[in-house]
Each structure stands twice: as C-alpha cells, then as structure tokens.
Amino acid sequence: MNVPIAFVGSITVIAAYVVVRLYQGRRNRRNSLQIAAQQHGWEWLGDFVPYDVPMNGLVNPKGDDIYTRNVFRGRVGDTEFYAFDCTVTFGRSGYSLSVVALHRQDLPVELPRKMKESRADGWIAASFNGMATAASTIAFIERLGETLKA
C-alpha cells in the first residue's frame, strides 16, 4: 500500500517542479525583455497589442484565438514596430511564437531560416518558429535598426 502512495507523491513533486520551472522561465523572459526595451527607449505595453495592428493577418490568417504577452513597441529608423510573444489556439491545440511586426510594406533584411514572413494591412511581420530567446528577439530588432539607418 505504501508503494502507490510514494509513487503518487513523487509524481506530484515532479509535476510541481515542472510547473514552477515553466513559471520561472516565463518570468525571466519577461524581465529580460522589459530591461532590454527600457535600455533601448522602447515602450513596454505588457500583454496588450493595440487594435491597429492586424493580428489575424499577421499572426494567424485562420482567425483563431490569439493570446499576447511581453508586448513592447518602438521605432527602428523611422519605422514603428511591435514585438510580442503569442499563443495561437484552435480547439484544444495551439502553438506559441515570437513576433516582430513593422508598420511598412517590405522587410529590410533577409530572414533566417527559422523565421517566416506575413503581411496584412500595411504591416509586415517576422515570426520565429516557436518562442525565440529574449536575446534573439532583441538582436533581430537591432539588426533591423542598423539596416534601416543605412
């Protein structure tokens, strides 16, 4: 009788550990992005992307539910951008990705293989396949800025 209780107890401890680590990872990512945004003079918006950014066209052309977090905005050159993480759900399934959306018609840099491009209503977005590291997101925005200054 003690073996099943010990087994259930150990499974519970492992599950709690995984949940705590996932929460800490999200919190660390949020903190890293907030600090980087502040250092660059970009505005931290939290979990809200303004309605003028066409999310359904840029992130998910199928129009499924989109939940955003870690949203910040700024300018690179004379181009406005928004960067954010999002989770797109459809039914019980879903996926997460990191996005940098520019209010312009073209993307001034060639995208790495791990990214894809989408367009909607005068905006263009570069999306990482999955969640990018905070450093990768910031580096990509900095690269855009260097290209647009030239």
pLDDT tens across 73-85, in order? 999 888 899 999 9
Structural domain total, the chain: 1
Range 59-82 average pLDDT: 85
For the ranges 72-76, 116-120, 129-133, the lowest mean pLDDT is seen at: 129-133
CA distances from 45 to 5, 10, 21, 49, 83 (A): 46, 40, 25, 8, 10
Confidence of residue 40 (pLDDT cuts 50, 70, 90): very high
Considering only CA atoms, give the Rg of the chain.
18
* Predicted local confidence at residue 16, as pLDDT: 41
* pLDDT tens-place string over residues 134-150: 898 998 988 888 887 76
Give the model confidence (pLDDT) of 5-38 as tens digits: 655 555 554 544 344 444 344 457 899 999 999 9
Range of the domain at 68: 2-149
